[in-house]
Amino acid sequence: MSSIIHVAVAGANGRMGKEVVKMVLTDPNLKLVAAISRSNEGVDAGLLVGKEACGVLVRTDLEAALSGADAHVMVDFTTPHSVMANSRIAIRQGVRPVIGTTGLKPADIEELDKLCKNNGTGGIIAPNFSIGAILMMKFAAQAAKYMPHVEIIEYHGDQKLDAPSGTSIKTAEMIALNRQEFRQGNPNEEETIDGARGGLYNGFRIHSVRLPGVFAQQEVIFGGYGQTLKIRHDSYDREGYMPGVNIAVKKAMELSGIVYGFEHFID
């Protein structure tokens, strides 16, 4: 195998997918070998993302696009409804999944891990590839050791399909590793409007704000005696995820089974 990594992009017509195509086309150590989308069949992937033609035509059938493409890695930024089917197809063809699509359940992650191991391959599932967001999660996990009363508020655009966000779930999971489970708040609390207190995870709350004009933000708020601590991350642009995706594509080549969370690649 050459040292150039051959990359297929599922969701190439999407907002994240287009950034991935651009990133792959500009890294001499990566080669775009397939671009898959539900629309734009036959359009050159380079032209699709506003760059020069690259000779890779968008395909709508993932299985057909992968067979014969000699892809090593498939980056998936599609939808919670299609990511599992895409990943099963890729792994069965020996292609390593790097999954940014959110909405996967623990059982899905387990299934893909097993499938990878059975096929002698590996991959990465990361709800957030932004290095700043990973640091926010790590700092929140650290704070939870000393301030176990916590709530998460995440903000995204109003067209997002899944709630709460994959990032907030990952943050909650990392907090839970450092916080003994207990139910926060008044035990007699009553919601007069359903959902007013947000979703309950391990005894603490996650709130999802969905508004046009918002890109991606998250606050983790800790409450203590006479004080609060807020850890906040703001994403302004999809380009901000690309250094992380680039690292993940390269790391995926060394893995056996699925690594869940980009934080495992940041010391």
Which residues pair with residue 31 across a beta bridge?
6
| Residue type (1 letter), 133 | A
CB of 141 to ligand NAP, least distance (A): 18
Tell me the backbone φ, ψ of residue 208, rounded to 5 degrees.
-115, 115
Known catalytic residues? 156, 160
Which residues, 48 to 87, sit near ligand NAP by CB under 6 A? 62, 77-79, 82, 86
224 or 243: CB nearest ligand NAP: 243
CB of 59 to ligand NAP, least distance (A): 9
The answer to whether 8 and 227 have CB atoms below 8 angstroms apart is no
Which residues pair with residue 235 across a beta bridge?
216
| Residue type (1 letter), 85 | A
Among 153, 241, 242, 246, binds ligand NAP (CB under 6 A): 241
Please tell me whether residue 142 binds ligand NAP under the rule CB under 6 A.
no
Computed from CA positions of residues 37, 40, 45, 46, in that sequence, does the dihedral angle turn out positive or negative? Answer: negative
Site string for ligand NAP, 97-136 (x = CB under 6 A): ---xxxx----------------------xxxxx------
Q: Is 167 annotated as a binding residue?
A: yes
Q: How is residue 242 written in tokens? A: 């690309």
Which residues pair with residue 58 across a beta bridge?
35
10 or 115: CB nearest ligand NAP: 10
CB of 172 to ligand NAP, least distance (A): 16
Please tell me whether residue 264 binds ligand NAP under the rule CB under 6 A.
no
Q: Is 14 annotated as a binding residue?
A: yes
DSSP conformational letter for 237: -
Tell me the backbone φ, ψ of residue 136, rounded to 5 degrees.
-55, -45
Residues in contact with ligand NAP, counted by CB under 6 A, come to a total of 27
Q: Is 166 annotated as a binding residue?
A: yes
Q: How far apart are CA 163 and CA 154, in angstroms?
A: 9
Q: How far apart are CA 109 and CA 99, in angstroms?
A: 10
Q: Is 40 annotated as a binding residue?
A: no
Site of interaction with ligand NAP (CB under 6 A) = 10-11, 13-17, 36-39, 62, 77-79, 82, 86, 100-103, 126-130, 241
